[in-house]
């Protein structure tokens, strides 16, 4: 029997607070889990940087690197976390400025096809028991049967402010803004900022917090939410 659980794709511009938004959605969507698909990619890139290995274009098969680094996904507190073997890769390392920029560069030249199948299989398994908030790039290409597809936007000024707060003043605003502009260009050139006929574009520039951002998304979802 086909699962009645839904899959919600969350994509968007760099620095729009997608991760925080997804965490808020968990509070309102019953029996839900977050699949941070982007963190699988970030873990691969983190291990590339940590290992100081040089990889040319022909070797950038993300699925093979997932196997090489023994990357696996587990559910903890209704969210996916990424392990390399028995080592849990902490969010702070995955979201660092250096790692984020490297992700954008590598995704522009890597072969992602088999990695997409890897993520789709995770979704199919999770969907058997849960509603899924699926955060990452190319969510529609990875899972064409998305029930909802959202693209989150905000002004460059607001995105810079949020990233500045996230990094707790360890990186200057100017450096953060320059990085966001670079990453935006790389993501756009890679085709990761695509929207589709069923895409809902949500501008969160004026949202004071993640809860307000999440409620903009929830207004578009037909599901009995928690009060």
Average pLDDT estimate for 95-115: 84
Give all strands (DSSP E) within the chain, no chain letters.
7-12, 32-36, 71-76, 79-84, 87-88, 131-135, 148-153, 199-203
Distance CA(155)–CA(214), nearest Å, equals: 17
How high is the pLDDT of residue 101? Answer: 85
How high is the pLDDT of residue 58? Answer: 55
Identify the weakest region by mean pLDDT among 10-14, 36-40, 74-78, 165-169.
Answer: 165-169
Distance CA(89)–CA(97), nearest Å, equals: 16
pLDDT confidence tier of residue 1, bands split at 50, 70 and 90:
very low
pLDDT in tens, 146-190: 999 999 999 999 999 999 988 887 889 999 999 999 989 988 888
Q: Are strands 131-135 and 87-88 parallel, antiparallel or unpaired?
A: unpaired
How high is the pLDDT of residue 56? Answer: 61
Distance CA(103)–CA(46), nearest Å, equals: 9
How high is the pLDDT of residue 2? Answer: 47
Give the distance from CA 194 to its chain's centroid. Answer: 15
Compute the mean pLDDT over every residue in the chain, rounded to the nearest whole number: 90
pLDDT in tens, 130-147: 999 999 999 999 999 999
Identify the weakest region by mean pLDDT among 46-55, 57-66, 92-101.
Answer: 57-66
- Find the distance separating the first CA and the last CA of the chain, reported in whole Å: 29
pLDDT in tens, 92-101: 899 888 888 8
Q: Are strands 79-84 and 71-76 parallel, antiparallel or unpaired?
A: antiparallel
Domains of the chain by residue range: 7-218
pLDDT at 33 over 50: yes
> At which residue do the structure tokens 């990695």 appear?
115
Give the closest residue to 33 by CA, choosing from 147, 144, 122.
Answer: 122
Angle between helices 156-166 and 173-189 (to 10 degrees): 120
pLDDT at 9 over 60: yes
Average pLDDT estimate for 29-41: 93
pLDDT in tens, 194-207: 999 999 999 999 99
Distance CA(219)–CA(175), nearest Å, equals: 35
How high is the pLDDT of residue 207? Answer: 97
- The reported pTM is 0.85
Distance CA(100)–CA(94), nearest Å, equals: 7
**Helices and strands, counts by H and E, the chain:** 10, 8
Average pLDDT estimate for 53-60: 66
What is the domain class of 7-218 according to CATH? alpha beta
pLDDT confidence tier of residue 223, bands split at 50, 70 and 90:
confident
């Amino acid at each position: 029997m086909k699962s009645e659980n839904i899959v919600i794709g969350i994509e968007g511009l760099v620095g729009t607070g997608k991760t925080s938004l997804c965490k808020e959605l968990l509070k309102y969507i019953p029996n839900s889990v977050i699949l941070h698909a982007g963190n699988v990619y970030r873990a691969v890139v983190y291990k590339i940087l940590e290992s100081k290995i040089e990889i040319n274009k022909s070797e950038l098969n993300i699925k093979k690197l997932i196997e090489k680094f023994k990357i696996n996904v587990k559910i903890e507190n209704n969210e996916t976390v990424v392990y390399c073997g028995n080592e849990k890769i902490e969010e702070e390392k995955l979201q660092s400025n250096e790692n984020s920029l490297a992700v954008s560069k590598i995704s522009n030249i890597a072969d992602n096809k088999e990695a997409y199948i890897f993520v789709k299989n995770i979704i199919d398994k999770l969907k058997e028991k849960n509603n899924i908030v699926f955060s990452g790039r190319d969510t529609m290409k990875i899972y064409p049967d998305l029930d909802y597809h959202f693209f989150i936007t905000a002004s460059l000024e607001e995105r810079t402010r949020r990233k500045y707060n996230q990094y707790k003043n360890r990186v200057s605003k100017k450096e953060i803004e320059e990085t966001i502009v670079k990453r935006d260009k790389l993501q756009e050139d890679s085709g990761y900022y695509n929207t589709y006929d069923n895409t809902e574009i949500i501008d969160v520039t004026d949202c004071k917090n993640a809860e307000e951002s999440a409620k903009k998304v929830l207004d578009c979802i037909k599901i009995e939410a928690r009060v």
